[in-house]
């Protein structure tokens, strides 16, 4: 299992659980580093944080951390002059139940925006869609109870076709149903334009390569940009 809990700035900060680059406390590991920006330098305390809670798709399995889609989004934010620190909290192989077990610690960061990307590993294991939905609902509930108005973005996913049409439909419907019920923003399908395209994926056919990660970042950016430009965010 690979754990990435790194800030995504112009310099890499962090690494895998097996090869830590520092002995920072959990709180220090979560804190975004300050980044130079004209006309002023904003400290970590002043910069709102966007946390990406996810699986290997978010962690960037098989990629340099600077190529994972959250790092690509950090560069987009910097280029747009938007003062946000991005935290990659992706864990390879994690289920929605595992993400739920981590959520209380993640929320100590008090993110301005939390992006939830989970469920893909549950689907690979054929987990009951109702159970996946309950886990994600619990994450949304805890986020609203433990933060000061954090905005939530839910990343839609789809199941592999070998699980059958009925399972695929039930799994796919989890995400828009939760978004409607909880009034949260939805990325319709995180891997839109990437899934099933050999040239945008690694040899396993599942995880995006560097070019694919840039497309994924564009999919997220379409939903994220209006929020970071909004005073409510």
Give tens-digit pLDDT for 143-202. 999 999 999 999 999 999 999 999 999 999 999 999 999 999 999 999 999 999 999 999
Q: Which pLDDT does position 145 carry in this prediction?
A: 98
Peptide bond into 39 cis (omega under 30): yes
How distant is the alpha carbon of residue 76 from its chain centre? 15
Q: Which pLDDT does position 47 carry in this prediction?
A: 87
Rounded to two decimals, what is the model's pTM? 0.82
Q: Between 127 and 13, whose confidence is greater? A: 127
Q: Which pLDDT does position 128 carry in this prediction?
A: 97
Residue 119 clears pLDDT 90, i.e. is over it: yes
Name the pairing type of β-strands 12-13 and 3-8.
antiparallel
DSSP label of 109: G
Residues 134-159: tens digit of each pLDDT: 999 999 999 999 999 999 999 999 99
Q: CATH for 3-34+43-228?
A: 3.40.50.1110
**Catalytic residue list:** 56, 204, 207
Torsion of CA 189, 133, 5, 217, to 10 degrees: 10
State mean pLDDT over 4-13. 46
Q: Which of 98, 73, 110 is nearest to 190 (CA)?
A: 73
Query: Rounded to whole angstroms, how far apart are CA atoms 101 and 226?
Result: 30
Q: Which pLDDT does position 32 carry in this prediction?
A: 37
DSSP calls for 126-176: T--HHHHHHHHHHHHHHHHHHSSS-EEEEE-----GGG-HHHHHHHHHHHH
Q: Which of 180, 185, 218, 170 is nearest to 72 (CA)?
A: 218
Residue 4 clears pLDDT 60, i.e. is over it: no
Q: Which pLDDT does position 26 carry in this prediction?
A: 33
């Amino acid at each position: 299992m690979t754990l990435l809990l790194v800030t995504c700035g112009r310099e890499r900060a962090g690494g895998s659980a097996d090869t830590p680059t520092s002995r920072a406390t959990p709180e220090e590991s979560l804190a975004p580093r300050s980044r130079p920006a004209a006309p002023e330098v904003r400290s970590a305390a002043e910069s709102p944080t966007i946390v990406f809670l996810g699986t290997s798709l978010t962690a960037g399995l098989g990629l340099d951390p600077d190529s994972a889609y959250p790092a690509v989004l950090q560069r987009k934010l910097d280029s747009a002059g938007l003062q946000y620190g991005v935290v990659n909290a992706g864990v390879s192989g994690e289920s929605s139940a595992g993400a739920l077990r981590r959520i209380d610690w993640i929320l100590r960061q008090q993110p301005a925006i939390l992006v939830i990307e989970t469920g893909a590993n549950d689907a690979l294991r054929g987990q009951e869609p109702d159970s996946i939905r309950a886990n994600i609902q619990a994450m949304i509930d805890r986020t609203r109870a433990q933060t000061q108005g954090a905005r939530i973005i839910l990343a839609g996913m789809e199941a592999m076709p070998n699980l059958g049409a009925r399972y695929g439909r039930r799994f796919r419907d989890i995400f828009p149903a939760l978004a409607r019920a909880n009034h949260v923003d939805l990325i319709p399908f995180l891997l839109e334009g990437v899934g099933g395209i050999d040239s945008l994926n690694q040899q396993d056919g599942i995880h995006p390569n560097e070019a694919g990660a840039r497309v994924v970042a564009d999919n997220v950016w379409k939903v994220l940009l209006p929020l970071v430009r909004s005073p409510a965010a």
